[in-house]
A and B are shown apart, each in its own frame.
Chain A
């Protein structure tokens, strides 16, 4: 791929500047080079020969993007910033040999005490994403999904990932529907309790759940950092595992996994012979947990919860998948619960997966606005549909001393079913 091949998309940016009013990164850094218009024009400058793509300055600016798509949503010309950013990062990875994140960590991280500490504290999280051999004896993951070996930094994580705790088939009597559950890495390795809640709620509502053992990472973490070959392999593995299952739906409970299965695989696997139909079939079948439940309806009676809850729209759930109404509907339906909207519920929380590793301070200051909004809402429970957002918001609330719980939509519902109080 040549830089010039990006030109077709790049020139669609009419440089209007509208993205300035929505870009969370620009809001913090203020420099034009950090907003979508600037990043696009830097790519344009590379094509024109005005800017050296091999320079650290260019690469760093390409890394200053949360892929939150807020700019895309409001761009009058419909410039696909995410596609441009991915293409640029891919090109950088190809030209420079190492995935973007890994280079950033080496360059910035290992010199930076604060980031090193973070690596330690978040290490257990990322180690889980990075190191697992594929269960089910089907071999190792093609490569570390993060493209980053953090073994040196961390102690082993929880030895019992979600998929080793649950049976491959969770049956119910007279099932209304049967679904497959794609757990993704975060749920499998870091938040098994979300997985348990998903299964619990589905079960109570008469839905049988199949949990294929040989699932992999969806590939998003490597994809967004420019390591396309690894992402393709992971995507193929996921499609192979899920596409032919005889189920009514494939359920995801992570915004990014869902977006990958439903939207991103089509482009990612476009050049893989024989995959188009399977990718389309999987995309059509995949549904977010909340979306699926809202569609089939809750049949089991809830005890309810005495809580004041608010909801954070994960970028990949709300913008990529268009799931906004359903989780709110489910949450508001919990007896005894009061629902309060945030001031800007769809503003990115700053996590953006590995972005928060590469640019920790920046991702914290973006998160501060979210935490401020949460504090102002008066809610004691923050609900969201993405484990990565949960982790980041929880960290932010902790650091800022804002009290309250952060739960996945599934966890909130599971509690509403269980609580004896």
Chain B
């Protein structure tokens, strides 16, 4: 980047909000995915803008001088969405960290993009309100990043994903215009639904600087239970049955034996290490009806062949189960150091078939694939446990992943339920969208970002 441009950037955000040192820039060549840009993809600058106006000025400068801009929150995405290309400007939005308003009467809140999701939830809950989207990364990921990835989480089975809560946005378009989409109202059909277009756009169509989100009343109580199975397919089969019985659990997580054993080794709370699978189930809502719901779910689990159903006695036991669930990743990194978490999502009733397919693929390529799923919403994280230093095995991993994608699409599933396409799955996207779909998306990108400034490598 020319010195004059660097000076202009500093003029916009202030020199103290610009990182120029090689080592500092290097640390923005990766995110939480397995890909990294390395030395070849070094960003020219890393900047921390302090307002939408600064974001706008930076984007205008980028159009003038044609350098790429990569928006970034906490860099916790697992799809390679915030990986820069050589000469890019990485725009970190964490300085925009104010909760602008929590409007109790209308049950909406307005937050800046850099607010950490869990911090926002804590504030909201203090007022007896509830912001349900809860990616497992919520303690560090940002609201802007959540919107850009349309993040989901364990509560998705009942409450949906980020998209279902975003009412409106403040977005800086790639060309620098600051626009507002949606409204503070529950209903809004004025014009195209740009809010939805931006939500899940992975930082390619605009930089989100603010979000207006919908809130719910905080559920009065919750109950957590663990159903134990000696056969992973029986567990998978149970998932659809629970919903068919008319109960909508908040969470319905499936963990296979590899996960169970390693989690138990890590946290030691007495999980059934012999079990082939467990379902971790939570219901929430009116305290008076919870027992009834738990009863129905327990009955269905037993009918489907659960060897045991345990209901957490108190908050402490429930907490233990959740700590166990959250340490899942941790735990399996004991098996092999490199973890690749695939994110295929299928219709709920196809889960048993998909689990079977994943197991067959693991056998075929002789690699370890553990299965953990937000099964309640059909989202299966086929977790490939490998070692990035073993090139030969990595080649088999690549083939296995390809087969998993193909199988997912074959049962009307999608390549990603919550992690996004990013660099990681870019080449597979046409498989799902077809040529027409790709054309439509490219036309939108071209219209909004004629000079291909924002996250250019992603599209």
Question: A residues within 8 Å of B by Cβ?
Answer: 7-8, 11-12, 14-18, 20-21, 30-33, 37-38, 41-42, 45, 48, 50-51, 55, 57-58, 61, 75-78
Q: Which 8 pairs between the two chains have the least Cβ-Cβ distance?
A: A76-B330, A32-B27, A77-B333, A38-B27, A57-B23, A33-B27, A17-B76, A50-B39
Within 8 A of A (CB), among B117-157: 118, 137, 139-141
The residue of chain B having its C-beta at the shortest distance from the C-beta of A50 within the complex is B39
Q: Total contacts A to B, CB within 8 angstroms?
A: 91
- Residue pairs across A and B with Cβ atoms less than 8 A apart, 27 shown, are A11-B337, A11-B389, A12-B337, A14-B32, A14-B339, A15-B30, A16-B137, A17-B141, A18-B139, A18-B140, A21-B139, A21-B140, A30-B94, A31-B19, A31-B46, A32-B24, A33-B23, A38-B27, A42-B26, A50-B39, A51-B22, A51-B23, A55-B22, A57-B21, A58-B23, A75-B330, A77-B333
CB distance from A29 to the nearest CB of B (A): 10
Within 8 A of A (CB), among B359-394: 387-389
CA gap between A81 and B94 in the complex, in Å: 24
Given contacts A17-B76, A21-B140, A76-B327, 19 further A-B contacts (CB under 8 A): A12-B333, A14-B32, A16-B32, A17-B31, A17-B32, A17-B74, A18-B139, A31-B24, A31-B46, A37-B27, A41-B26, A48-B38, A50-B38, A51-B22, A55-B23, A61-B23, A76-B326, A78-B266, A78-B333
Instruction: Name the one of A18, A20, A30, A33 contacting B26, with C-beta atoms under 8 angstroms.
Output: A33
Q: Please state if B19 and A17 are interface contacts (CB–CB under 8 Å).
A: no
Question: B residues within 8 Å of A by Cβ?
Answer: 19, 21-24, 26-28, 30-33, 38-39, 46, 48, 74-76, 94, 116, 118, 137, 139-141, 266, 326-327, 329-330, 333-334, 337-339, 387-389
Instruction: Name the one of A8, A16, A42, A50 contacting B329, with C-beta atoms under 8 angstroms.
Output: A16
CA gap between A16 and B22 in the complex, in Å: 22
CA gap between A42 and B39 in the complex, in Å: 12
CA gap between A127 and B38 in the complex, in Å: 44
The residue of chain B having its C-beta at the shortest distance from the C-beta of A60 within the complex is B23
Q: Which residues of A contact B329 (CB under 8 A)?
A: 14, 16, 76-77
CA gap between A36 and B76 in the complex, in Å: 14
Q: Which residues of B contact A7 (CB under 8 A)?
A: 389
Q: Which residues of B contact A21 (CB under 8 A)?
A: 116, 118, 139-140
The residue of chain B having its C-beta at the shortest distance from the C-beta of A8 within the complex is B337
Q: Please state if B333 and A32 are interface contacts (CB–CB under 8 Å).
A: no
Q: Please state if B330 and A77 are interface contacts (CB–CB under 8 Å).
A: yes
On whether A78 and B330 interact (CB within 8 A), knowing A17-B32, A61-B23, the answer reads yes
Q: Which residues of A contact B75 (CB under 8 A)?
A: 17, 32
Instruction: Name the one of B48, B116, B333 contacting A30, with C-beta atoms under 8 angstroms.
Output: B48
Q: Which residues of B contact A32 (CB under 8 A)?
A: 24, 27-28, 75
CA gap between A242 and B33 in the complex, in Å: 49
The residue of chain A having its C-beta at the shortest distance from the C-beta of B266 within the complex is A78
The residue of chain A having its C-beta at the shortest distance from the C-beta of B31 within the complex is A15
Q: Please state if B76 and A16 are interface contacts (CB–CB under 8 Å).
A: yes
The residue of chain A having its C-beta at the shortest distance from the C-beta of B327 within the complex is A76
CA gap between A38 and B118 in the complex, in Å: 22
Q: Which residues of B contact A51 (CB under 8 A)?
A: 22-23, 26
CA gap between A38 and B21 in the complex, in Å: 14
Instruction: Name the one of A14, A31, A55 contacting B27, with C-beta atoms under 8 angstroms.
Output: A31
Q: Please state if A41 and B333 are interface contacts (CB–CB under 8 Å).
A: no
CA gap between A12 and B327 in the complex, in Å: 15
CA gap between A360 and B347 in the complex, in Å: 57
Instruction: Name the one of A14, A20, A33, A58 contacting B74, with C-beta atoms under 8 angstroms.
Output: A20
The residue of chain B having its C-beta at the shortest distance from the C-beta of A39 within the complex is B27
Q: Which residues of B contact A42 (CB under 8 A)?
A: 23, 26-27
CB distance from A319 to the nearest CB of B (A): 17
The residue of chain B having its C-beta at the shortest distance from the C-beta of A79 within the complex is B333
CB distance from B66 to the nearest CB of A (A): 26
Highest count of chain B CB atoms <10 Å: which of A8, A16, A30: A16
CA gap between A57 and B38 in the complex, in Å: 17
CA gap between A265 and B102 in the complex, in Å: 52
CA gap between A77 and B30 in the complex, in Å: 18
CA gap between A21 and B387 in the complex, in Å: 27
Q: Which residues of A contact B23 (CB under 8 A)?
A: 33, 42, 51, 55, 57-58, 61
The residue of chain A having its C-beta at the shortest distance from the C-beta of B118 within the complex is A21
The residue of chain A having its C-beta at the shortest distance from the C-beta of B388 within the complex is A11
Q: Which residues of B contact A45 (CB under 8 A)?
A: 26, 39
Q: Which residues of B contact A77 (CB under 8 A)?
A: 329-330, 333
CA gap between A14 and B335 in the complex, in Å: 13
CA gap between A75 and B24 in the complex, in Å: 22
CA gap between A7 and B390 in the complex, in Å: 13
On whether A33 and B32 interact (CB within 8 A), knowing A48-B38, A76-B330, the answer reads no
The residue of chain A having its C-beta at the shortest distance from the C-beta of B330 within the complex is A76
The residue of chain B having its C-beta at the shortest distance from the C-beta of A7 within the complex is B389
CA gap between A17 and B184 in the complex, in Å: 32
Q: Please state if B22 and A57 are interface contacts (CB–CB under 8 Å).
A: yes
On whether A76 and B139 interact (CB within 8 A), knowing A21-B116, A31-B24, the answer reads no
CB distance from B115 to the nearest CB of A (A): 13
Q: Please state if A14 and B140 are interface contacts (CB–CB under 8 Å).
A: no
Q: Please state if B32 and A15 are interface contacts (CB–CB under 8 Å).
A: yes
The residue of chain A having its C-beta at the shortest distance from the C-beta of B334 within the complex is A78
Q: Which residues of A contact B46 (CB under 8 A)?
A: 31
Q: Which residues of A contact B330 (CB under 8 A)?
A: 75-78
The residue of chain A having its C-beta at the shortest distance from the C-beta of B39 within the complex is A50
CB distance from A50 to the nearest CB of B (A): 4
CA gap between A20 and B118 in the complex, in Å: 13
Q: Which residues of A contact B141 (CB under 8 A)?
A: 17
CB distance from A6 to the nearest CB of B (A): 13
The residue of chain A having its C-beta at the shortest distance from the C-beta of B387 within the complex is A11
Q: Which residues of B contact A17 (CB under 8 A)?
A: 31-32, 74-76, 137, 140-141
Q: Which residues of A contact B326 (CB under 8 A)?
A: 76
CA gap between A31 and B25 in the complex, in Å: 9
Highest count of chain A CB atoms <10 Å: which of B27, B266, B339: B27
The residue of chain A having its C-beta at the shortest distance from the C-beta of B139 within the complex is A21
On whether A20 and B140 interact (CB within 8 A), knowing A12-B333, A76-B327, A77-B333, the answer reads yes
The residue of chain A having its C-beta at the shortest distance from the C-beta of B341 within the complex is A14
Q: Which residues of B contact A33 (CB under 8 A)?
A: 23-24, 26-27
The residue of chain B having its C-beta at the shortest distance from the C-beta of A76 within the complex is B330
CA gap between A55 and B21 in the complex, in Å: 11
Q: Which residues of B contact A55 (CB under 8 A)?
A: 22-23
Q: Which residues of B contact A14 (CB under 8 A)?
A: 32, 329, 333, 338-339
CA gap between A76 and B372 in the complex, in Å: 16
CA gap between A33 and B21 in the complex, in Å: 10
CA gap between A395 and B118 in the complex, in Å: 33
CA gap between A330 and B327 in the complex, in Å: 33
CA gap between A30 and B18 in the complex, in Å: 11
CB distance from A201 to the nearest CB of B (A): 34
Q: Which residues of B contact A58 (CB under 8 A)?
A: 23
CA gap between A20 and B24 in the complex, in Å: 15
CA gap between A168 and B387 in the complex, in Å: 56
Q: Which residues of A contact B334 (CB under 8 A)?
A: 78
CA gap between A18 and B32 in the complex, in Å: 10
